[in-house]
Amino acid sequence: MTDPVLAVGVDAGCCVRCVICRLYDSRLELLGYGEAPARGWNRSRIADQNSVSSAIREAVAEAERLAQVSVEAAVVGIGGAAVAGGHHRGVYEFGRPRDIEPGDLRYAFERATRLRLEDHRLLLQAFPQDFTVDGRAGYRNPRGVRCARLEANVYAITADLQDHQFLVSAVHQAHLAVEETVFEGVAAAYAAVLPDERGRGVAVVDIGMQSTELAVYDGDALVAAASIPIGGEHLTRDLAICLSTSMEDAEMLKRDYGCALLGLTGDDNLVEIPSHDGRPPREATRRQVNVILEARAEELLEYVRAEVAQAQMEQSLLEGVVLCGGGAKLSGMCDLAERILNCQARNGLAIGIRNWPEEINNTEWTVAAGLSMYSARLKQKLGSRRRAPGIVGMVVR
């Protein structure tokens, strides 16, 4: 590529974040970024489309101001209760044995993505896993192999049709076209995990405000995707209820004194709990705060472990677990993840974008970065993926 191309990602979750990059000679460079506080969401679903659209406009306008460009389209992330994943298979009977051609691989893949969905569901993304040739599984690119029956195994992510339409309409109302909608767990993996790491087995856990998105990779193929109905807001709410304080004060306590694992902080230290209506402030030990946080964080990671076990990946996460999202900033989350999932854990930061500033070099911006990178790869590979044989030519990854 010789002419610069804009690659824009919009993470339209409970805090809207926009990243504008420039793709030039296969290099991605940050031009601008912006964020706006969450409005119009309720339990990871859009409750007020106008408010969501207004927040998107604010975030995009801030990013445009820094980048000194005007954007027209973006790749948008989606997650929460609207999303589900599952394995599917497409069968192509040749009728007589012959050599497999590139078109056969694509046709088998297309048959696998012809899902019989309920009326309220739509296919969001489909990821090839491997091919089965005359009953022999595990072929990544069986081009030229002689057979009579070809099966394509794919992992498909679906979304609630109405929720998807609300999100797309909110983006359109913000005067942006939608290039593609991408599962936020996949976007986080796109930004924070290298291809070699996906090949060795890794789980990406994006802990948002109201839900957590999970993507598990093995052999560079997506083998599991799920949305867990627990997020950072649930930890804050637990503190607010148990300590009889407001959500704002509970968030402050979580941020300044909280830890997801007992024993990593001075548990006997006292912290001040703000009171209202003229009442004097109260005190609690850090242990009281952390017991509450650990219980909910443990519940979340137990859900993750169950999904990993269902994908039969308990002993195969050689690259461990990568934590993204605002919830990953809670002290002790990596330590707790290592204890529960029995593998190494690290925070997932954006990799591969030039001029990425320190002020946004944290887990909250990983999804937005991944959406921008997906937009760049979508444009870069638009022509080449039509010509590439096998799995590589079927999806942008």
Q: What is the mean pLDDT of residues 347-370?
A: 96
Strand 73-78 relative to strand 5-11, pairing: parallel
Residue 9: name the closest of 32, 27, 26, 38 by CA.
32
Is 387 a residue whose pLDDT tops 70? no
pLDDT, tens digit, 9 for 90 and up, residues 45-57: 888 999 999 999 9
pLDDT (0 to 100) of residue 384 = 54
Is 267 a residue whose pLDDT tops 90? no
Is 174 a residue whose pLDDT tops 70? yes
Q: What is the mean pLDDT of residues 37-64?
A: 91
Instruction: Give the C-alpha separation, 142 to 270, whole Å.
Output: 64
Lowest mean pLDDT across 33-37, 91-95, 322-326, 388-392:
388-392
pLDDT, tens digit, 9 for 90 and up, residues 283-324: 889 999 999 999 999 999 999 999 999 999 999 999 999 999
pLDDT (0 to 100) of residue 2 = 53
Q: CA dihedral in degrees (243, 248, 251, 255; nearest 10)?
A: -120
Is 397 a residue whose pLDDT tops 60? no
pLDDT (0 to 100) of residue 251 = 94
pLDDT (0 to 100) of residue 173 = 96
Residue 296: name the closest of 247, 255, 261, 270 by CA.
261
Instruction: Give the C-alpha separation, 133 to 139, whole Å.
Output: 7
Q: What is the mean pLDDT of residues 105-124?
A: 92
Q: What's the longest Cα–Cα distance across the chain? A: 85
Is 76 a residue whose pLDDT tops 90? yes
Per-residue b or e along 56-78, where b marks 16 or more CB atoms closer than 10 Å to that residue's CB: bbbbbebbbeebeeebeebbbbb
pLDDT, tens digit, 9 for 90 and up, residues 118-150: 889 999 999 999 999 999 988 989 999 999 999
180 three-class SS = strand
Q: What is the mean pLDDT of residues 171-191?
A: 96
pLDDT (0 to 100) of residue 157 = 96
| Confidence band, pLDDT 50/70/90 cuts, at residue 28 | very high
pLDDT (0 to 100) of residue 82 = 86
Torsion sign (Cα): 337, 339, 342, 343: positive
Structural domains of the chain, with CATH: 84-159 (3.30.1490.110), 194-347 (3.30.420.40)
Average pLDDT, the chain: 91
| Confidence band, pLDDT 50/70/90 cuts, at residue 93 | very high
| Confidence band, pLDDT 50/70/90 cuts, at residue 65 | very high
pLDDT (0 to 100) of residue 393 = 47
Q: What is the mean pLDDT of residues 361-366?
A: 96
Q: What percent of the chain has pLDDT over 90?
A: 78
| Confidence band, pLDDT 50/70/90 cuts, at residue 3 | low
Residue 75: name the closest of 373, 380, 393 by CA.
373
Q: What does DSSP assign to residue 210?
A: S
Q: What is the mean pLDDT of residues 224-232?
A: 95
pLDDT (0 to 100) of residue 219 = 83
Is 112 a residue whose pLDDT tops 90? yes
pTM: 0.91
- Across the chain, the runs of DSSP E, i.e. the strands, are 5-11, 15-24, 27-37, 41-42, 45-46, 73-78, 83-99, 121-133, 136-139, 146-160, 177-183, 202-207, 212-218, 221-228, 270-273, 282-285, 321-324, 345-347
- Per DSSP, the residues of 59-109 read HHHHHHHHHT----EEEEEE-GGGEEEEEEEEEEEEEEEEE--HHHHHHHH
Q: Write out the two tokens for 199.
A: 């090949």
